[in-house]
Structure 1
Amino acid sequence: MRAAVDAATAAGAPTMPVAELRHDSAVLRPAQVLAIGANYAAHASELKLRSESTMTIFSLWPNSLAAHGGTTTWADDVAPQVDYEAELGVIIGTPARNVSPQDALDHVFGYTVVNDITARNIQFSEAQWSRCKSFDGFTPTGPVVVTADEIADPQDLWLTTNLDGHVMQDASTNEMVRSVAEIISYLSKTATVPPGTLISTGSPGGAGYSRNPQVFMHDGSTVTVTIEGIGSLTTHCRVV
């Protein structure tokens, strides 16, 4: 990627400040979007979920992908309890099949920020978690993808969530129950994880659902998820 940029610059290609550009989702046509549930003990505890001896894995539907700076809209009568979840996103670069944890990170292309927006009223009324997290625009990603060589250790990154000016989540990826390497290795034991796959690795404690009083995103809310070394992902909310 650096070589391509250097070549374009040397050839006199025109440039434009990032501030003048409109973002798209960090991944546009992922082979699949996989999510890991209850991967931080504090989050599992506050939602009264169990961190099982094996991973909780579910799919997010591609229509849910959204961009940094965008607006996510939902109907209040369908989802009156919409919550935020800060997550580290992992993008697979080369096929991972039956890899060890020691070799798993070699298959990572890069990392991004994910806000795993969740309709809690639906999550706790159904036996699966895909639909409650797969409304249109419920998986914002970005603002960029940082290549794997830029992240020395994915288990040493700080995550925060700011909702309407208030810090709601504040934790480190070293609090994961299962590391990024362990997640990739586990997934690869039963099926090849293809290039372009986005893995959302779970959220730390501080969810709005578990607070007293509960805190949910509402019409006009702005939520920003930040991961050090990657950037800040902002989503505007519209309830109709």
Structure 2
Amino acid sequence: MAEISAVSEGPRTEGDDYRGIMRFAHLVRADLPEPALAVLDGSQAILVSTLYPDAPATLQELIAGGSAALDAVRAAIADGAAVVHELTDFTFASAVLAPPAVLAVGLNYAAHSSELGLKTDAAPTVFTLWPNSLTGHGQTTSWPRSLSESVDYEAELGVLIGTAAKDVSEEDALDHVWGYTVVNDITARDIQFAEAQWSRCKSFDGFTPTGPVVVTADEIADPQDLHIWTNVDGHMVQDASTNQMVRSVRTLIAHLSQSLTLLPGTLISTGSPGGAGYSRDPQIFLRDRSTVTVGIDGIGELTTHCRILG
């Protein structure tokens, strides 16, 4: 369970600069009945529920409230009345809770397609991830040894849809993005190559860590210009850029919106670069007590602890 550095609890000083710190997380504390939506600024956090009556309780509620809800949060923080909490007792839940859908894109980096021995098709490879797989930064993901001993990591850029997108053009696609997060698309490779679909091998409990935060879209000038990487047990194993995507975020949103309406809050995991453990010689799989951190510059670093049962 990861802890965040402590800061003194107290009110913000009026005039403190909260421009550009719209980084949202779901925090857990023993006295809170549910994960609480918070705005993070470095080691400081403000619980959104305390800002004004009927404030959004989750990121999904905030996104559903549209620009008016986000503006209300910004204004409430700017007026100096927000309370900054000590964070010693907080841990992270998934940055994305109860999205309408989690859509994952496979084979979206040529190097990753090649190392898996799979062909990048003319259209994107798309599958769904099940909601039980969502978990937070610093949490422990466990799985039975009897199910898989070939569990792999995949660093991915996660895209959160803000406004419903149907038949949108590539030119307009980024207008529908609310924010971005980090995703580790953990995968049981032996199951992946034994079955005709990829949802089960990637949807064990805790196989989709997200976070630590979601950053609002205005913080990311270009989603195709982000350093993305993975570190397993102290070793850098993926080191790439989102500019290596076969299909850009714009292209993926436009393509997906042709066949379905992308609802507000939908999470799109946009594929992983080369360097997967499956393709290495010798292979690197996540072991009992492994620690894997995936990161994207400008968004954050997402750490998962691993336990193999049995």
TM-score above 0.5, yes or no:
yes
Amino acid of the structure 1 residue aligned with 2:106: G
**What's the C-alpha RMSD, in Å, of the aligned pairs?**
1.2
2:79 corresponds in structure 1 to: 10
Q: Are 1:140 and 2:191 matched, yes or no? A: no
1:73 maps to which of 142, 150, 160? 142
Q: Are 1:180 and 2:249 matched, yes or no? A: yes
2:278 corresponds in structure 1 to: 209
| Cα deviation 1:131-171 (Å, max 9, x = unaligned) | 00000000000000000000000000000100000000000
For 1:28-67, what aligned pairs fall within 5 Å after superposition? Answer: 28-67=97-136
Q: Scaled by the length of structure 1, what TM-score is found?
A: 0.97
2:268 maps to which of 199, 203, 209? 199
Q: How many residues align?
A: 240
Q: Are 1:221 and 2:300 matched, yes or no? A: no
| Cα deviation 1:178-213 (Å, max 9, x = unaligned) | 000000000001111100100000000000000011
Q: Mark the runs of 5 or more structure 2 residues left unpaired by the alignment.
A: 1-69
Q: Are 1:97 and 2:166 matched, yes or no? A: yes
Q: Mark the runs of 5 or more structure 1 residues left unpaired by the alignment.
A: none
Question: Percent identity between the aligned chains?
Answer: 65
Shift of 1:21: 2.5
2:196 maps to which of 118, 127, 143? 127
Shift of 1:4: 1.7
For 1:98 and 1:30, how far apart are their aligned partners in 2? Answer: 21
- Structure with higher Rg: it is 2
Q: Scaled by the length of structure 2, what TM-score is found?
A: 0.75
For 1:174 and 1:108, how far apart are their aligned partners in 2? Answer: 18
Higher mean Cα deviation, 11-20 or 222-231? 11-20
SS, match of residue 91 in structure 1: strand
2:8 corresponds in structure 1 to: none
